[in-house]
């Protein structure tokens, strides 16, 4: 579904990514795990071409993502970022309906879809007319997810979407994400620095360090891994890690 | 966004208001004048004649600071009429070389103004307010000088004073100094026209560039030197009118016709004197003149 | 005759000069917006041009108004009509606040919002019209407000070169040594400036993003 072929990315003299090769299968949740500066966010942005590689290629659905219209590419990929990035001057409904509106859907269809999505992400329909500043952090993030799903893209890119939330809300949203995935089977690339989140949500974990892909393992393998970086990560999270809590089948 | 559309609407309403008000004046005539006594007496005379002979409302926009400003106001349609001098129009506005034939200058100015500016000239008021080079009466008698040529030899001992426009205009000081070979002590002082006569009387200057119809000439015992080489072009006082105004309000033309040749040099001097020396109100002076001459009730 | 009675008696002239004044200010502000806002958008997106453009606008601002009028007078088409000249000069003076505020407004839009928009597949022009401009509108209007208030003041000087407006009352009053005439120009001009500040400020507040 998504493939990175020997991708490198430099800014000036800094090598942000080095020779990254990676495949993301359809319907899986691939977690990019790493600390700040490891290159995980850059990797994510290479998929929807917010960043262009210095060398190598990224393929989406079999064709290179630098061939063809970048706008079409992006409209077919849902994008959720940490601070939600909701348009403050749009209502919740208008935020959610953004891509459908750009795609020219008729009003009725957009309204129906918006109602459907509010229900999917667990928000009451009455919130449709509110503005982002009137919502809590958790509610905003749910709207962000709804917005990303609006045009029913096959791929979802999520950049530390729950990092800015309090632990309780984060837990709630993670649980709901799993239920959502069970229902929708999207191909998700999920960036996080939190191992627990990675173990809980990912079907596979790609550990990145200093721009390189260090290891690519399933959650169970990761916890038992001998790889120095992986085990360092596990140690940093203090053990007591249950590799498969509340996870549905992928 | 909706609010900015509202502001655009408000702005366009304001603008349309402006445009419809600056194009023509409806049933109003705006009379302008420059900022010296004679000009606003003439402006008053024009305004009162129009008020007396037509049903139009007259607005006065006097004290405009100079020929350029008046010309701009006429072109923009902000004023409809103002009193000008043929010589000034010829040299300062049309930028042509001064001529000496009164009738030819009038015709030239009229035809050029009509073709270039859509402005026309009304009939001349009847006096020639040319530049008058003034010296104290006592000096004229003592040195026995009557003409500028005779005065030239004394100029190195004299300090001169002129108005601002006279210094700068091509038909002003530079040409005169060359024509008559005048060499003053030091550079001439520039001062307000209204202050020249007094400065001359008080011995602050010895030679002043005034106007032939200065009210203060007889009052302060000043002597106007004769322009024996005919350097200065004629400065017939005339009303300048916008052609659009003459078309829309022909009654204004008729009102101005009644002022044709109505004011002699002496008449103008007397009116200037009443205002400058006797401090009478220009409106009253004009009204009195029109009454005496049976031009208005 | 008191000032109030003078104003009432000459109300049509006061109105006419006020409208002339508004025309000068209005038209020049519109021109300045037509030039300045696009320019501000360009330099917000291409920061390399930022310094030269702002520096130029700054230099224009520092030229004293009357001096600028003097420079422009000898020009052929412009100098023939002093109101054209005045409008050009007023437009130039209005540029800096408008360019600078447009730049600041667009620059100040939350980068996360722009990135989210871009990531979801908005084109650059969709981003500009649907996101950047609406969110920057309040700041841009603030620049317009400053420009208008400056223009109302500068337009009084325009009367010195015969462009009309309320300044004419002021200059005529000076020549006549008549306080009422001076105030008949100065007070409406001040009121205009305050009104402009108030109305544009109101629009600014309405457009402020929550």
Nearest to C115 among A85, A86, A98 (CB): A85
Closest among A170, A211, A217 to A194, alpha carbons compared: A170
- Comparison of pLDDT for C77 and A133, the residue scoring more: A133
The pLDDT, as a whole number, for residue A250 is 42
The pLDDT, as a whole number, for residue B26 is 67
Residue of A42, A68, A70, A79 for testing the chain C interface, max C β-carbons within 10 Å: A79
Between CA B85 and CA B289 the distance in angstroms is 21
The rounded Cα C25 to chain-centroid distance in angstroms is 7
How does the average pLDDT of chain A come out, rounded? 89
The full set of domain ranges for chain A reads 1-76+157-250, 86-153
The pLDDT, as a whole number, for residue C206 is 86
C6 lies within 8 A of chain B by CB: no
Partners of residue B18 in chain C, C-beta under 8 Å: 19-20, 22-23, 26
Q: What percent of chain A has pLDDT over 70?
A: 95
Checking if the pLDDT of B19 tops 60, the result is no
Partners of residue B1 in chain C, C-beta under 8 Å: 134, 137, 207
The pLDDT, as a whole number, for residue C172 is 86
β-pair partners for A24: A2
Q: What is the pLDDT of residues A176-215, one digit of tens each?
A: 999 989 888 999 999 998 999 999 999 999 999 989 999 9
The pLDDT, as a whole number, for residue C9 is 86
How far does the CA of residue A201 sit from the closest CA of chain C (Å)?
23
B76 lies within 8 A of chain C by CB: yes
Nearest to A85 among C113, C130, C209 (CB): C113
* Tokens (6 digits) for B246: 């003459």
User: Residue C30: pLDDT band by 50, 70, 90 thresholds?
Assistant: very high
Rounded mean pLDDT, A104-113: 93
Q: What is the pLDDT of residues B236-248, one digit of tens each?
A: 999 999 999 999 9
Q: Do C113 and A86 touch (CB under 8 A)?
A: yes
Say how many C-beta atoms besides its own lie within 10 A of residue C8's C-beta: 11
How far does the CA of residue C39 sit from the closest CA of chain A (Å)?
24
Q: What is the pLDDT of residues A3-41, one digit of tens each?
A: 999 999 999 888 899 999 999 999 999 999 998 888 899
Partners of residue C22 in chain B, C-beta under 8 Å: 14-15, 17-18
Checking if the pLDDT of B9 tops 70, the result is no
Cα torsion C130, C136, C137, C143: sign: negative
Partners of residue B6 in chain C, C-beta under 8 Å: 203
Partners of residue C161 in chain B, C-beta under 8 Å: 68-69, 72
Between CA B90 and CA B80 the distance in angstroms is 20
pTM of the model: 0.78
Pick the CATH number of A1-76+157-250 from 3.40.50.720, 3.40.190.80, 1.10.10.10, 3.40.50.300: 3.40.50.300
Restricting to B residues 77-106, those with a Cβ less than 8 Å away from any Cβ of C are 78
Nearest to C176 among B21, B28, B63 (CB): B63
> CB-based contacts of C71: which residues, under 8 Å, 6+ apart?
C63
Nearest to A89 among C119, C120, C209 (CB): C209
Checking if the pLDDT of A83 tops 90, the result is no
Q: What is the pLDDT of residues A145-162, one digit of tens each?
A: 999 999 999 999 999 999
Q: Do B18 and C20 touch (CB under 8 A)?
A: yes
Residue of C11, C15, C16, C203 for testing the chain B interface, max B β-carbons within 10 Å: C16
Residue of C152, C162, C177, C203 for testing the chain B interface, max B β-carbons within 10 Å: C162
User: Residue C10: pLDDT band by 50, 70, 90 thresholds?
Assistant: confident
Checking if the pLDDT of A242 tops 60, the result is no
Q: What is the dihedral of CA A233, A234, A237, A243, to 10 degrees?
A: 130
User: Residue A84: pLDDT band by 50, 70, 90 thresholds?
Assistant: confident
Which residue of C lies nearest to B20 if distances are taken between CA atoms? C19
Which residue of C lies nearest to B31 if distances are taken between CA atoms? C13
Closest among C57, C62, C52, C51 to C35, alpha carbons compared: C57
Checking if the pLDDT of B20 tops 80, the result is no
Helical ranges in chain A per DSSP H: 40-47, 70-75, 92-96, 98-102, 107-120, 137-149, 167-184, 195-201, 219-224, 228-236
Partners of residue C206 in chain B, C-beta under 8 Å: 3
Q: Work out the end-to-end distance of chain C between its first and last CA atoms, rounded to an integer number of angstroms.
A: 52
Checking if the pLDDT of B4 tops 60, the result is no
How far does the CA of residue B54 sit from the closest CA of chain C (Å)?
19
Between CA A131 and CA A80 the distance in angstroms is 18
> CB-based contacts of B195: which residues, under 8 Å, 6+ apart?
none
Angle at which helices B102-117 and B67-75 pack, to 10 degrees? 40
Q: What is the pLDDT of residues A87-97, one digit of tens each?
A: 999 999 999 99
Calculate ∠ Cα A202-A207-A210, nearest 5°.
145
Interface of A with C (CB under 8 A): 45, 48, 50, 71-79, 81-89, 98-99, 102, 131-133, 144, 147-148, 157
The pLDDT, as a whole number, for residue B248 is 92
How does the average pLDDT of chain B come out, rounded? 86
Checking if the pLDDT of C4 tops 80, the result is yes
The pLDDT, as a whole number, for residue B64 is 87
Restricting to B residues 29-48, those with a Cβ less than 8 Å away from any Cβ of C are 35
């Amino acid at each position: 579904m998504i493939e990175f072929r020997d991708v490198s990315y430099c800014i000036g003299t800094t090598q942000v990514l080095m020779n990254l090769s990676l495949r993301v299968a359809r319907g899986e949740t691939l977690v990019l795990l790493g600390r700040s500066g490891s290159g995980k966010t850059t990797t994510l942005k290479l998929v929807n071409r917010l960043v262009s590689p210095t060398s190598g290629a990224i393929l989406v659905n079999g064709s290179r993502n630098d061939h063809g219209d970048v706008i079409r590419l992006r409209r077919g990929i849902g994008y959720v970022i940490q601070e939600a990035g909701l348009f403050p001057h749009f209502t919740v409904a208008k935020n959610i309906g953004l891509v459908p509106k750009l795609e020219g859907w008729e009003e009725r269809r957009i309204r129906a879809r918006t109602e459907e999505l509010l229900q999917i992400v667990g928000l009451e329909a009455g919130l449709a007319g509110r503005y982002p500043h009137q919502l809590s952090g958790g509610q905003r993030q749910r709207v962000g997810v709804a917005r990303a799903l609006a045009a029913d893209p096959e791929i979802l890119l999520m950049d530390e979407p729950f990092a800015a939330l309090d632990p309780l809300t984060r837990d709630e949203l993670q649980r709901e994400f799993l239920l959502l995935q069970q229902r929708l089977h999207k191909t998700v690339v999920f960036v996080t620095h939190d191992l627990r989140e990675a173990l809980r949500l990912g079907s596979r974990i790609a550990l990145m360090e200093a721009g390189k892909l260090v290891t690519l393992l399933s959650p169970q393998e990761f916890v038992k891994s001998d790889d120095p970086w992986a085990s360092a990560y596990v140690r940093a999270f203090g053990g007591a890690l249950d590799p498969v809590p509340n996870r549905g089948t992928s | 966004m909706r609010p900015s559309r509202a502001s655009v609407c408000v702005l366009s309403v304001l603008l349309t208001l402006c445009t419809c008000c600056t194009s023509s004046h409806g049933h109003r005539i705006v009379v302008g004048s420059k900022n010296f006594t004679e000009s606003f007496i003439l402006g008053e005379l024009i305004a009162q004649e129009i008020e007396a002979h037509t049903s139009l409302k007259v607005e006065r926009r006097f004290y405009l600071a100079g020929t350029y400003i008046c010309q701009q106001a006429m072109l923009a349609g902000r004023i409809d009429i103002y009193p000008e001098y043929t010589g000034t129009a010829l040299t300062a506005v049309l930028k042509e070389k001064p001529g000496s034939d009164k009738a030819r200058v009038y015709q030239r100015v009229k035809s050029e103004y009509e073709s270039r500016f859509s402005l026309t000239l009304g009939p001349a008021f009847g006096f020639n307010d040319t530049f008058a080079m003034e010296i104290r009466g006592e000096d004229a008698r003592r040195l026995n000088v009557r003409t500028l040529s005779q005065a030239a030899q004394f100029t190195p001992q004299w300090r001169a004073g002129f108005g601002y426009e006279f210094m700068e205009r091509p038909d002003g000081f530079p040409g005169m100094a060359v024509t008559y070979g005048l060499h003053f002590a030091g550079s001439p002082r520039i001062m307000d026209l209204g202050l020249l006569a007094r400065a001359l009387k008080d011995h602050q200057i010895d030679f002043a560039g005034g106007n032939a119809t200065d009210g203060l000439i007889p009052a302060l015992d000043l002597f106007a030197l004769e322009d024996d080489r005919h350097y200065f072009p004629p400065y017939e006082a005339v009303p300048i009118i916008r052609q659009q105004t003459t078309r829309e309000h022909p009654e204004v033309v008729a009102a101005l016709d009644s002022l044709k040749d109505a004011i002699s040099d002496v008449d103008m001097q007397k009116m200037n004197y009443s205002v400058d020396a006797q401090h009478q109100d220009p409106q009253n002076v004009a009204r009195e003149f029109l009454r005496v001459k049976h031009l208005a009730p | 005759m008191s000032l109030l009675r003078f104003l009432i008696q000459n109300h049509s002239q006061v109105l006419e000069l006020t409208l002339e004044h508004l025309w000068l200010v209005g038209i020049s502000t519109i021109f300045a917006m037509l030039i300045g806002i696009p320019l501000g958008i360009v330099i917000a997106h291409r920061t390399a041009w930022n310094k030269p453009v702002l520096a130029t606008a700054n230099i224009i601002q520092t030229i004293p108004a009357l001096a600028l009028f003097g420079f422009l007078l000898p020009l052929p088409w412009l100098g023939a009509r002093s109101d054209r000249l005045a409008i050009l000069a007023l437009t130039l003076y209005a540029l800096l606040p408008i360019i600078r505020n447009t730049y600041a407004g667009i620059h100040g839009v939350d980068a996360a919002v722009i990135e989210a928009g871009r990531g979801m597949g908005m084109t650059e022009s969709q981003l500009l019209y649907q996101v950047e401009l609406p969110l920057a509108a309040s700041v841009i209007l603030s620049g317009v407000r400053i420009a208008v208030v400056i223009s109302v003041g500068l337009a009084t000087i325009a009367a010195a070169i015969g462009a009309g407006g309320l300044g004419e009352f002021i200059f005529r009053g000076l020549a006549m040594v008549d306080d009422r005439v001076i105030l008949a120009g100065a007070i409406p001009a001040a009121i205009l400036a305050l009104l402009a500040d108030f109305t544009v400020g109101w629009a600014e507040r309405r457009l402020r993003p929550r």
